[in-house]
Structure 1
C-alpha cells in the first residue's frame, strides 16, 4: 500500500510542477495564447485526476483514495473558475463510468462534479490564491467525507476510511502547497532581480543595458525611428551649489517629466548615466522627432523645479537627434551621431534641440 501512496503522490506532484511553471510563465516558457490557459489547465487537470484514480488506493468496497481533490483545487489556483469546473466534470464522469455504473459510482461521480462547480462559482466571486486556497480545499474534503460516510453507512470501518482519506488529502496537498508557494516566492525574487538589472535605481527608468536592448530590437524591425539624447544644462552647478541629494531630486523629477511627455508618442525613456537621458521614438522621422524633443524641452524649461529646501530651480536641457535609417544603420553610428548633435546643441547656446541633419 505504501508504494501505491507514493505512486499516487508522485503523479500529483508532477502535475503541480508541470502546470505551475509554464502556465504561470515563471520561466518565460512560450504559451501561444494565455486566454486558452483555463481550458488547457482544466483538461490537463481532468486527465491527471483520471490517472490518479487509476492508481488509487482501495480503502473499502465503496471508497478509493487518491489526490483528485488536490488537482481540482490546484487547477482553480492556476487556471481560475473554468479550469476547476472542467477538471471536476471530467474526473466526475470518469468516476461514474470507468468504475462501473452503480448507485455508489453515480453518487461519488456527481459529488466530484458538484465540488468542481461549487469551487468554480465560489472562486468566480472570490479569486483563489495561495492565501485562501485552504478554504476551498477544506470544503472539498468535508463534502467528500460526508459522501464516503453516506455510501458506507457510517460503520467503524467507514470512520477509519474517512480519517485515512482526510490525512492523505491534507498531507499530500500541504506538501504541494508549500513547494508551490516557495517556488512562487523564488520566482518573484528572480523577477525582481531581473527588473533591477535593467532599471535605473534612482529614476526607475530603463538603464543603459535595457536602452541598448530596445535599440537593437528597433534596428531588427528595420522601421524608421529616431534616437534623442538629452543632457541637463549646467547640472554640475546644481550639485556644487545644493549638494548631490538635491541633484538626485532634480534627476527624478526630470525623469518623470521626460517620460510623461514621451508616453504620448510611444517614447522609450532611459537614463544612460549621470545627467544623460535618451528617448527612442519609434516610427518617427526627423521633423516629428524635433517636434517631440522640443515639447520635452519645454516641459522642463517652463516649469520650475521645487526642491526639498523650498527653493525653486530653473532647469533646462539640450538634446541631439539622429534618425534610422536616414543617418545610420547601426547602434554605434546612430548613438555617435545623436551625441554629436547634442554637443552642437551645447556649444551653440544650450536649451535647444539639434538634429544631426541640421549640422550638415
Structure 2
C-alpha cells in the first residue's frame, strides 16, 4: 500500500498546485483507462480492431502530455491541449465507435466536464471554446446519430451492453474519485492561501506603513497588555527634535528618510531589549521595554549612540525622550501622561536629552 501511495505521489507530483496535481492524476488515469478499454474491447469484440489501436496510440500521446506537464513545466499548455483533445476528438470518436447514445460516452463527457472546470487555465477565449464544446458537442453527436444511425456502431446484444456500461461506470467512478480528490485539495489550498492573506492583512493593519513599527492603535494595545501583566516595565516617548524645520529646509522626502532611519534603530534596539515599539504619531515614537528606569536610561543612551554613529546627509538624528516606570495602579492614560509630561520637560530644558517622571531630573 505504501508503495502504491509513493508511486502515485511521484506520478502526480507533490509540490505543484492543486490544479496541477489534479491534471496529472487525470492524465495518468486516462492513460490506464485507454489501455484497459482497448483490452476490454478486444476481449469482448465490442469495437473495431482499428479503434482499439487508436486507443493505444492515444494513450501513448496522453503519456507524452503527462511527461511534458510533469517534468517540463508545461501544465497550462498541456491542460489546454488535453481538454481540446478530449472534447473534440477522443469522446466524439468514442461515440461513433463505441455505440453512440446507448454506450458510455455521455458518462465520460460528464467526467471530462468535471475535470475541465477544475483545471482549465483562466484564458477567457480558450476556456469559452472548451466549455461551449462540452455543452453542445453531445447535442451535435445526438443529432448526427439521429440523422445517420447507420454510421454509429451497435451492441451485439443487450448482455454485452450491460457489461460495457458496468465496466464504464467503474472507470468513470475512478475518474470521479480523482477529480473529487483534486477539488478537495484545491479547497484546502485556497483556504490556506486565504488564511495566509488574512494573517498578513491583520499584521499590516497593526503596522505603520512608513516605518514598519506598530501604529498608534496597535502600540496602545501592546501597552494595555503590559499593564494587565503588571510586569516591571518602562514606557518611553521619543520625539525627533526640530522635525518641522527638517521638513521645511530639506523637504518631506528627506523627512521620511529620517523617520525610516530612526525607526530602524528603534526596531533593532527594541528587539535586543525584548520590548515593543510603535509610531505614536508624526515624529513621536512610543517604546515599551521590560525593567526599571535604569534600563530606560540604558536604552536611551544606546539609541543616541547608534544615531550618532550613522549620521544622515544633513546630520545626526537628534531626539528628546520622556520615560516613566509602570506603577501598580496605572492605567494606559496615566502611564502615557507621565511619560508625556517628562518628554515635555525634556524639550523645555534644551531638547536632545532624556527626562524621567520620577524626579524630572536631566540625565
Give the shorter-chain TM-score range: 0.5 to 0.7
Change (3 A) 1:200 1:241: same
Match in the other structure for 1:248: 256
Change (3 A) 1:298 1:169: same
1:313 and 2:315 are equivalent in the alignment: yes
1:298 and 2:305 are equivalent in the alignment: yes
1:224 and 2:232 are equivalent in the alignment: yes
The 2-side partners of 1:194 and 1:202 are apart by 17
Helix, strand or coil: the match of 1:212? helix
Q: How many residues align?
A: 241
Aligned-residue Cα RMSD (Å) equals 3.6
Name the larger-Rg structure: 2
Change (3 A) 1:140 1:289: farther
Q: TM-score, normalised by structure 1?
A: 0.57
Match in the other structure for 1:115: 4
Give the CA deviation at 1:263: 1.4
Write the deviation string for residues 236-282 of structure 1: whole angstroms up to 9, x where unpaired: 01110111111111111111111112211112111111001111102
Match in the other structure for 1:208: 216
Gaps of 5+ in 1: 1-109, 306-310
Match in the other structure for 2:358: 357
The 2-side partners of 1:258 and 1:122 are apart by 51
Q: TM-score, normalised by structure 2?
A: 0.57
Match in the other structure for 1:63: none
Helix, strand or coil: the match of 1:334? helix
Give the CA deviation at 1:320: 0.9
The 1-side partners of 2:207 and 2:303 are apart by 21
Structure 1 residue corresponding to 2:295, chosen from 278, 288, 294: 288
Structure 2 residue corresponding to 1:197, chosen from 199, 205, 209: 205
Give the CA deviation at 1:135: 7.5
Give the CA deviation at 1:316: 0.6
Gaps of 5+ in 2: 47-163
The 1-side partners of 2:210 and 2:193 are apart by 25
Write the deviation string for residues 292-332 of structure 1: whole angstroms up to 9, x where unpaired: 12211221233211xxxxx3332211111111126x52111
After the TM superposition, which segments of 4 or more aligned residues of structure 1 sit over 3 Å from their partners?
115-123, 125-146, 152-159, 177-189
Write the deviation string for residues 90-117 of structure 1: whole angstroms up to 9, x where unpaired: xxxxxxxxxxxxxxxxxxxx3xx43335
Helix, strand or coil: the match of 1:357? coil
The 1-side partners of 2:172 and 2:14 are apart by 30
The 1-side partners of 2:354 and 2:188 are apart by 53
Helix, strand or coil: the match of 2:350? coil
**Kept after mapping to 2: 8 A contact 1:203/1:251:** yes
Change (3 A) 1:164 1:138: closer
Give the CA deviation at 1:219: 1.4
Matches within 5 A, 1:19-38: none
The 2-side partners of 1:133 and 1:238 are apart by 57
Change (3 A) 1:120 1:266: farther
Match in the other structure for 2:341: 340
Helix, strand or coil: the match of 2:235? strand
Helix, strand or coil: the match of 2:223? helix
**Kept after mapping to 1: 8 A contact 2:11/2:25:** no
Give the CA deviation at 1:166: 4.2
Match in the other structure for 2:327: 325
The 1-side partners of 2:272 and 2:241 are apart by 25
